[in-house]
Amino acid sequence: MKGSEIHFAVAGFGHIGKRHAEMIRLNPQARLVAVCDVVPANEVNGLPEGVLYYTNYNQMLAECKSVEVVNICVPNGLHAQYALEAFDAGKHVVCEKPMALTKADAERMVFKSLEVSRHFFCVMQNRFSAPSQWLKHLVSNQKLGDIYLVQINCFWNRDARYYTGKTWHGTAQLDGGTLFTQFSHFIDTIYWLFGDITNVKANTASFSHKELTEFEDTGVVSFNFMNGGMGVLSYSTSVVRKNFESSITIIGSKGTVKVAGQYMTDVVYCDLEDGEMPDVAQFGATDAFDFVPAGSANHYKVIQNVIDKVNEKGVISTNALEGMKVVDMIERIYQSI
């Protein structure tokens, strides 16, 4: 029924799972019915009052009949399994990034969602930020003209504190690699703004994580856009002490722009034909979202998008085919090494 309250369950109650749960709880159009995690019930922190708790995922799917949407927030390598089981149970699925660790798994997930006629949402909340919406406006409306060069820099800190203890981070099987866990949002940005890539060449190394992870911590990737122009992605998780920056520079035939900051939040350079710095904030404003919870990192907009779509209003902000394309691009980057 249109406009009805949507019932959710969250699988995986770690840092991101808790954020999903809170965004659901704060939305007046949603109800958080259940949470599932491997942690014993007596060790769980932050569970909202009145929410059912399970340590068996299939039991939750079987018993929580009213749940319409399952949010998958488990380790990366389990996304495909959990999504397929949720689809089999007749649920819509919201899957945290990355959608899967292989294109083959992503294809299985897409096929199953179509087979059972359930919606499939991929979480790429950075698309909702004001600078990202502004960049999309510029590219879609040819404000930059022909794209010549795109430079993306992602320089973060992930040290021993992140990879030690009871964690799945750093393993090839459950984590998958730096581009999957840390920087898939930026691969999504590349695809969302400029389309698919070809002629991929990558050079990677592990400098400060040899004893911590089963994959690289630093890389430089060059490529051509199928729609014209070329790009370079430079990334590292070896920055000491704290995150340094995430930035994108776009050079086109009609202008040059750069968005930077720790999480690509600030327009630091803008040379367009009209000669004025933009009012970027207007691109992040929308009447569809009437609350902005602190620390939500735009996940509240993801949840609202799910509610709207299940209530037959609007379109999916990041659909399964787009999520699969991000996995495909990352897989091709790693294969090029």
**Considering the domain boundaries, does residue 115 fall inside one?**
yes
3-state DSSP of 46-69: CCCCCCEEECCHHHHHHHCCCCCE
**Residues 113, 153 within the same domain:** no
- Residue 292: the pLDDT is 55
**Considering the domain boundaries, does residue 325 fall inside one?**
no
**Residues 94, 214 within the same domain:** no
- Residue 165: the pLDDT is 85
**Residues 159, 229 within the same domain:** yes
Q: How many domains does the chain have?
A: 2
* Owning domain of residue 86: 6-125+294-319
- Residue 157: the pLDDT is 97
- Token reading at 311: 């209530």
- Beta partners for 233? 152, 221
E strands, the chain, in order: 6-11, 30-36, 52-54, 69-72, 92-95, 120-122, 147-155, 197-205, 218-225, 230-236, 245-252, 256-260, 266-271
- Residue 279: the pLDDT is 79
* Nearest by Cα to 120 from 98, 100, 91, 97: 91
**Residues 106, 15 within the same domain:** yes
**Considering the domain boundaries, does residue 287 fall inside one?**
no
**Residues 170, 83 within the same domain:** no
**Residues 137, 171 within the same domain:** yes
- Residue 263: the pLDDT is 86
**Considering the domain boundaries, does residue 336 fall inside one?**
no
Which residues does the chain have with pLDDT short of 50?
A: 1-2, 287-289
pTM of the model: 0.94
**Residues 72, 141 within the same domain:** no
Q: Which of 246, 264, 282 is the last residue of a domain?
A: 264
- Residue 285: the pLDDT is 53
**Considering the domain boundaries, does residue 176 fall inside one?**
yes
In the three-class reduction of DSSP (H, G, I as helix; E, B as strand; rest coil), residue 229 is classed as coil
CATH number at residue 51: 3.40.50.720
- Residue 293: the pLDDT is 57
Summarised one tens digit per residue, pLDDT across range 187-199 is 999 999 999 999 9
**Considering the domain boundaries, does residue 202 fall inside one?**
yes
**Considering the domain boundaries, does residue 335 fall inside one?**
no
CATH number at residue 163: 3.30.360.10
**Residues 195, 115 within the same domain:** no
For 193, phi then psi, to 5°, come to -85, -40
- Token reading at 108: 């299985």
**Residues 157, 235 within the same domain:** yes
**Considering the domain boundaries, does residue 329 fall inside one?**
no
**Residues 114, 17 within the same domain:** yes
**Residues 102, 138 within the same domain:** no
* Nearest by Cα to 10 from 330, 324, 302, 313: 302
**Residues 120, 142 within the same domain:** no
